[in-house]
Structure 1
Amino acid sequence: MRHTLHLRRTLTAVLTTTLLAGGVLLGQTVTAEPAAAAKMTCNIDQLRTDARKERDRAAQLRRLGARTEANRAAARADALERRAQQCHDAENNNRPIWQ
C-alpha cells in the first residue's frame, strides 16, 4: 500500500508538470505574432535607384566584354525592379476603402 501512494504522487506530479508545460507552449503559440503579419517597409525610390545603378553597371560590363557578369547585373536589376513594383502594388492595394 505504501508503494502505491508514492507512485500516485509521482504520476500526479508528472501529469501536472506536463499539463503546465503544454499550457505554456500553447499560450506562447497563440499570442506570438505570425511571421507573415510582421510589418515590412521598403523604400521604392531607393530600390529603383539601385536598379538603375545595376543597369548602368551591366551596360558598362557589356561594353568591356564581360557578358556573364553583365547578365548577372541585369538579373539583379530586374529583381530590384520587380521588388519595387511589388512594394508599389502592395502600397496601393492595401489602402482602406474609405480614403
Structure 2
Amino acid sequence: MRNATPLRRALPALLATTLLAGGLLVGQTAAAEPAAAAKTITCDIPKLRTEARKERDRAAQLKRLGAKDEARKALARSESLERRARQCADAEENNRPPLWK
C-alpha cells in the first residue's frame, strides 16, 4: 500500500502536464496562418536586371580605381541579382495554373 502513494501523486501531475502541452499545441496551430494565406513573392525582372547592370558598372569602376576587393564584392552582387532575375523569368515561363482553374 505504501507504493501507491507516489503513483497517486505522479499520475495527476503527468495528466496535467499532458493537457497543458496539448492545449498549447492546439492553440498554436489555430493561431498560425495557413500556407495558402502566405504572402506571394513577386519579381520585378527589369528592375533586377538594371540593378545588376549598375553593380557591374560599379565593379568595373572600382577595379579601375584599384579597389579590387570591393570590385569583387560588387561583381558578386551583380551576379546574384542576375541569377535571381533568371530564376524569376524561369518561374514565370514554367509556371502552370492549377488543374481546377
TM bracket (short chain):
0.5 to 0.7
Aligned match of 1:13: 12
Q: Over aligned residues, Cα RMSD in angstroms?
A: 3.5
Aligned pair count reads 96
Q: Provide the TM-score with structure 1 as the length reference.
A: 0.66
Specify the SS of the correspondent of 2:78: helix
Distance change >3 Å, CA 62–CA 16, structure 1 → 2? same
Aligned match of 1:50: 51
What stretches of structure 2 of length at least 5 have no aligned partner? none
Residues 71-95 of structure 1 show CA distances to partners (whole Å, capped at 9, x for unaligned) of: 2211110011101111222233233
Distance change >3 Å, CA 69–CA 5, structure 1 → 2? closer
What stretches of structure 1 of length at least 5 have no aligned partner? none
Q: Provide the TM-score with structure 2 as the length reference.
A: 0.65
Looking at structure 2, the residues matched to 65 and 46 of structure 1 have their Cα atoms a distance apart, in angstroms, of: 29
Aligned-pair identity in percent equals 56
Looking at structure 1, the residues matched to 91 and 23 of structure 2 have their Cα atoms a distance apart, in angstroms, of: 36
